[in-house]
Structure 1
């Protein structure tokens, strides 16, 4: 049986099925997989998401834990651009991050490319679930994100 590989469009990063944890034995079908908030007091069940999406989100959260403050700021700007698409202010910020490079991308740049591909494939509930998981890991980062989103109000 051939191993399935996922590769971003530039081919700089690759992951194979062995890089992700195995499916828990208690889950007989992907249809039965659901994510329930572990935050006390919320008690609200989130919409079910696929196992693959859940693993992608866990992967990004793992990367996030190892990123430097500068890398997290870059991720914040990318997340902000995704949250308020089409705002000129975020487009200009994104353009300032673009650089012409004559070297291979580093691991962080590959992670951001995969993050973008995965995020673009997620539905709204899955994106909200990711933000919820991120908030559980780093509430200050998410608070800063929400503040940055609010700062774009009224700006073109």
Structure 2
């Protein structure tokens, strides 16, 4: 039976080099994070289609706040604990905002930039909104 003790012995003797496998695991985990982030961004873009003009303004303000004043990662758990998926569509917007905030905080700086660029290319009003607030993407 192959166990951790035998693996450690073979690694220490130079028989097995685990660096390749560790690199593959990091690459695989990175791929999962990229896929998860892309899925989250697609969800948000989909939600935007159903939002009223007032809700879009609220979202835009929230996005700028999150982008400029990145919060503590512990806020992620607070946001997830307060999710309430019950109610009609009008009540769904606050839930979507909380979920957006939690997701946004977990994205890398590059993910955030990509999302902002996507929004500015899709929505000229949003691009002007950012420009008026001196947010450069």
State if a TM-score over 0.5 links the two structures: yes
Pair 1:53–1:59, CA change in 2 (3 A): same
Deviations 1:77-130 (A, max 9, x none): 1112123228xxxxxxxxxxxxxxxxx791000000110000000010000011
**Aligned residue for 1:143?**
128
Q: Which residue number corresponds to residue 122 of structure 1?
A: 107
Distance of 2:102 and 2:128 partners within structure 1: 24
CA contact (8 A) 2:37 2:111 kept: yes
RMSD: 2.8
Name the SS of the counterpart of 2:133 in structure 1.
helix
After superposition, the Cα gap between the structure-2 partners of 1:142 and 1:30, relative to the gap in structure 1 and judged at 3 Å, is farther
Secondary structure in 2 matching 1:149: coil
Query: Is the 1:30–1:50 Cα contact (8 Å) retained in structure 2?
Result: no
Matched, 1:65 2:49: yes
Where does residue 24 of structure 2 map in the other structure?
A: none
Which residue matches 2:34? Answer: 50
| Unpaired runs of at least 5, structure 1 | 1-28, 34-48, 87-103, 151-156
Larger Rg, first or second structure (1 or 2): 2
Structure-to-structure mapping, 1:1-156, within 5 angstroms: 50-85=34-69, 106-149=91-134
Q: Structure 1 runs of 4+ off > 3 angstroms? A: 29-33
Q: 1:106 to 1:143 in 2, by over 3 A?
A: same
Say which SS state the counterpart of residue 75 (structure 1) adopts: helix
Calculate the TM-score normalised by the size of structure 1: 0.50
Aligned residue for 2:69, secondary structure, equals: coil
Q: Deviations over 1:1-44 (max 9, x none)?
A: xxxxxxxxxxxxxxxxxxxxxxxxxxxx86896xxxxxxxxxxx
Aligned position for 2:9: none
